[in-house]
Structure 1
Amino acid sequence: MKNKVIIISVLAIILLGFTACKKTPEKIDATVKKELPTLSTNAISNITPTTATSGGDVTSDGNSTGTARGICWNTTENPSLENNLGYTFDGSGTGNFTTNITGLINNTTYYIAAYATNEIGTAYGSTKSFSTQELTLSEVTTTKPINITPTTATSGGDITSDGNSKVTARGICWNTTENPSLEDNIGYTFDGSGIGSFTSNITDLTDNTTYYVAAYATNERGTAYGGVKSFTTLEITLAVVTTITPSNIHSNSAISGGDILNDGNSAVTARGVCWNTTENPSLENNIAYTSDGSGTVGFISNITGLTENTTYYVAAYATNEKGTAYGQVKNFTTEICGQLIINYGGQEYHGVPIGTQCWMKENLNIGTRINGNQEMQSNSTIEKYCYDENEANCDTYGGLYQWDEMMQYSTQEGAQGICPDGWHIPTDNEWKEMEMELGMSQSEANNTDWRGTNEGEKLRSKSGWNSNGNGTNSSGFTAFPGGFRSIGGSFIDLVDYGFWWTSTEYSGSYAWSRGLCYYFDQVDRNDNYRVYGYSVRCLKD
């Protein structure tokens, strides 16, 4: 029984303890108050004539889900969603947002306010104001014209301000009257868009004329012009040309030319010399003229086809857009080939005219004799062979020369070789020209071996040929039978044959030559070894 009482007492105590520890719950108010959102209007930036940037910061949604936010604006104070010229919708919720204001009018004051809407209503941030930029004409200056020619010039402009509106066109315009514009001009350029400097080319102008030029720049507001600049195009005049005094005067040719001192502000398109046997030659009054290219540098002209012992008048000319100008007239008299006396290397030579050519009447006898068994060398000494190693034969028939020595180791046709100044080794074609002058046809002249009829007889001297095979020498050429030096150094055919080199190669080891014989009245044309020693005649340049 006692134990029972104890157990019941313990349970009672435990129960009491639980009851004492239990806290009575507080009463919670389930009703939350909903309010308008709280927000501020952002500062305004990026202001242009028609746009700006602003926004807002919603710091509290007023315990109600936000449904819209943005900004609204007007030209009167206190803009709202009920009183505005425009507004934006920039989502919902709290936080910062940015928006673009568009469709504005330049140079106008606007009022803006951020808004935020929830189920309670719409709240507004503080009203802020700004003025859009004024839209003005661009600011442009005109570049002073440079590079002025009779028909062109260079100008341009520099746009330092776009007037708060994109420059959509720029360039220059010009006229012969003051104040040129896009509405009053005789020409204009389009040189792109945007600000900065630009260069313009003015074309199709008239020489010796005053023009007025102005740069322009077009934006939304209109077209602005830089200050007007004036310039005068260069006058086109005749070129200024001088005539070079004729030189290298021969029986049938001379050299002149000209020096163009001024192109008259127009390109020289033709130049040369013209000549006549009467004074004041021109392109309309001449025997002949040369065309020596274009431009203003000096030029040299070859006057050809002249008659010996004749006085000619020559003048340089230069043609440009304005016309043809002439240098002062120079006169000269051609030589008489048949009266020429040439002193060369201690020997006296004479000229003989054949057609329009002037030949030497004698074979060359120039240089230091070497033995026939020696080969001629490229050195500073002209070397020669004398038939049978006898200097007297050189005095009578002239020296004998290998082709390379005669050419002085050039292969250029018509080279001077061992001839005196103003003379050259005749080419194969120049020999043909002489032969045709004596009666040979072109086809005959082009053949090889013995060609023609009696042209050889006309060339042979009246004495000295074997078996009375002398010629008539009607040409005056006076060809003597000097024979030749053969390979190995032997000498052959004195008084029977005469052989002469041309300056025309046939191949690497051969060159064209001419031959005469006491029993043929024709002329031999053949290619022969260049190591042979043949006679040489010179032809006037």
Structure 2
Amino acid sequence: MKLLFSPLFMRFAFIGLPLLVVVSCKKDDPAPPTAPAVTTAPLTNVTSSSATTGGTILTNGNAAITQNGIVLSQTNATPTLTDSVIAGTTASGSFTINLTGLDFNRTYYIRAFATNSVGTGYGDVVTLNTANDTTKVRFMYNGKEVVYGIIISPVTGKKWLDRNLGAEQVATSYDDYKAYGDLFQWGRPADGHQLINWTASDAGTAVNGTTEAVANSDIPGHSNFIIPPYVSPWVLDWRSDNNRNRWATIPQGPCPAGWHVPTRDEWLAEVATTMGGTATSGGMTDRNTAYSQLKLTIAGKRGVDGPGSVNFGQVGTYGHYWSSTDRLASGYTSARDFEVGIDGVQQFIDVKASAKCVRCLVN
């Protein structure tokens, strides 16, 4: 504020007249700039690998916005620009960001931000959990991420994966070779030995080679199919010490976390009593009912056929599925499997060097 005195008014003041004072007010200066004010949008469209979020810039703090978007972290509960940044596309108002390719079964801390010449303003933190939904399972298999569906058995109410491990798709028929999947030696992890290139409903070839060197560990460390010595007492196991519980060393076996290779009794519960099963009603009786009930297919098996030899058998005729249960007899063990065919669904035993389908069941 500035006081103005004219000479005339000063003269009047000296002779005793009242002094007239004129006051002039200048316009107020603008408020100094501050960091922007931002809110974080609620999470929507949440899946096990994606979500939608964003934010709203409430004020720019009297300075131009130079950057905005969201920050996120799996470890920092109050993420900042030093964490992962996904840029927005607006300098004012609301913006939306679609998050994709998120890690499965992880917790993410997320908040919106906007930056001007003064600093960065952040919205509230929202927490995202990328867990499985009720209809799909997302996991890593053979070095890549896969998403399988879930089948609820009409017989037991149990939840099964909707396809064999390694299958390209859910079966459209019991002889849909794109749904055959991989063939595992009993108790062996998904290390590449199981990979099959299916070319028709009755034909396929192995992706990797073979070896006659029996493994001395539950994890052989290579991708070759192991052909054990073809000598008495015909143990025919790919593993040297005949470990009977090898799929339990990693509880889920080759299945995703929280799932497992079914036991003998869990398979029997899905099979009709007329086929030796324990289903209280209904149950599988042949390859048609096995397909309609659990989308099982008839990929056959891969077995040892003599010294240094391995073959594919019954492809397009029978489906062979491992259980996680073995059988001790005469000092050595074999393993129990289930065979799905035109004439029935039955429990059998086979040597552990054989390779068969794996279908996973939730714990």
TM-score class, shorter: 0.3 to 0.5
Max Rg structure: 1
Q: Which has the higher contact order (CA 8 A, sep 6+)?
A: 2
TM-score normalised by length of structure 2: 0.37
